[in-house]
Amino acid sequence: MTDDDIPADMIPDDDLPLHRSPLDRVIDRLPRVRLLPLTFVAVGVAAAWGLWTHAPLRNVPNGQVGVRMNRLTGDSSVVRAGTAFVFPGLQDLRLYDLHEQVFHPTDSTSAAGPAPFQSVEGLSIGVDVTAHYALDPAHVATIARDLPADVNGEVVAPAVRGVIYRVFTRYTVREIFSSRRAEIQQVIEGELRPKLAADGIVLRDVQIGKVDLPADYKQGMEALLAEELASEKMRFTLELKDKEVKQAELEAEADKVKREKAAEAAGQEQIIAAKAQEEAMAHVLPFKQKQILQRQLEAEADKASRIKTAEGTAEARRIEAAGEADSRNKLADAEVYRLDKVGKSTSEQMAREGELITRHPLLIQKTMADKLSDKIQVIIAPPPANGGFIGSTLLGSRDAATRATTTAKAGDTDTDAANAPQENAQ
């Protein structure tokens, strides 16, 4: 009989193995009948704790997919969005996001950062690179079986960094910065897409943003850009001058053509005007000839009319002259007849006055007083000595008075004879 066959309660304490713990020793001392309920209780508590910490029902959110893996056989099954049963301890559930994800290496955005990119010149540059990718739902099981759990950090990041580092070393800083950026982006996408597709990852696109240049290179680039801008400005200035010269030549040529066309048009216009004038003269000359003939006829008619008018005027004047001469002859005859009558009447009157004065001599004094009365208002004279007329001393003797009277009468007669033709004419 060995020690293992002896019950534990029958073994003294000193004989127990020294390597056993105090708890084991206490349990060994307990009766075996009491150990069975405690064992079931412990198992139940452990199962409850396992169910609490590892629930068999797991939720798969929308936009994600789960891969349920068997730890014993290594089999896997894809679980869509919803609730899935996972046997605790036997199965494991991994969740994968099917939405588009972004890989953005922030440590490579600065030229002085911890992980800058390198150009073909060996210069460190910082490039803001963003890669958009998504997991292929058809290869999720393969991803869960073959790839690490952290796909972004352990699969995508190394692949993207390796391709970008390799591609950037083929180009210069200037090409990466400006001239060939789109080409570089296409090359990165072309090399990175099949590499990620082999692992069940679909690459959407790669975006290249800001490029951070080294400080020394940036200063040299600014100086170079300034020189290029100056040369570009000079080139544009020369091109502008060349265009201005060509423009002046074209304007001169256009002006020349314009003047030639204007001269041709003017010559053609003169030719047309000459032809029109010639055609007009063909109609104008007969009209002018008719006008000349009409004017000649009008002149001859005017001449004949003037001749007739002159002849009529002359005839009228002859008639008027004959009438005037006849009238003057008649007037002369009448004047002669009047003078004859006047002379006869004057003679008869003088005869009568002589007889009257002879009978009445004082009429001479009265007549003289009447003649002088309108010119002399007062006459002072001494009375005559012989008691005669007061004006005898002024007029002289009787004979003188008689002669004066006769002379006055003769003068009056001549005056009346001179005024008689005028009165007759009136």
pLDDT value of position 358: 83
Asked whether residue 38 falls in the same domain as residue 115, the answer is no
Residue 44 lies in a domain: yes
DSSP state of 97: E
Residue 285 lies in a domain: no
Pick 291 or 86 by higher pLDDT. Answer: 291
Q: Does the pLDDT at position 82 exceed 70?
A: no
Residue 296 lies in a domain: no
CATH number at residue 188: 3.30.479.30
Pick 43 or 358 by higher pLDDT. Answer: 358
Burial of residue 287 (number of CB atoms within 10 Å: 0-12, 13-18, 19+): exposed
Residue 153 lies in a domain: yes
Residue among 164, 174, 168 nearest 131 (CA): 164
Asked whether residue 113 falls in the same domain as residue 202, the answer is yes
Residue 424 lies in a domain: yes
Share of the chain above pLDDT 90, in %: 1
Structural domain tally of the chain?
3
Residue 36 lies in a domain: yes
pLDDT tens-place string over residues 249-294: 989 988 888 888 889 888 888 888 888 888 887 877 888 888 899 8
Among 213, 237, 256, the domain-final residue is 213
Q: Does the pLDDT at position 37 exceed 70?
A: no
| Confidence grade of residue 22 (pLDDT, cut at 50, 70, 90) | low
Asked whether residue 105 falls in the same domain as residue 45, the answer is no
Asked whether residue 45 falls in the same domain as residue 105, the answer is no
Is residue 346 within 8 A of residue 417, CB to CB? The reply is yes
Residue 334 lies in a domain: no
Which DSSP helix (H) or strand (E) runs through 268? helix 215-359
- What pTM value is reported for the model? 0.41
Separation between Cα atoms, residue 346 and residue 351, nearest integer Å: 8
Residue 327 lies in a domain: no
pLDDT tens-place string over residues 134-169: 888 787 777 777 777 788 888 888 888 889 888 988
| Confidence grade of residue 97 (pLDDT, cut at 50, 70, 90) | confident
Separation between Cα atoms, residue 173 and residue 269, nearest integer Å: 71
pLDDT value of position 14: 45
Pick 80 or 396 by higher pLDDT. Answer: 80
Asked whether residue 110 falls in the same domain as residue 202, the answer is yes
By mean pLDDT, which of 266-270, 322-326, 414-418 is the weakest? 414-418
What range defines the domain where residue 124 resides? 100-213
Asked whether residue 125 falls in the same domain as residue 197, the answer is yes
pLDDT value of position 1: 43
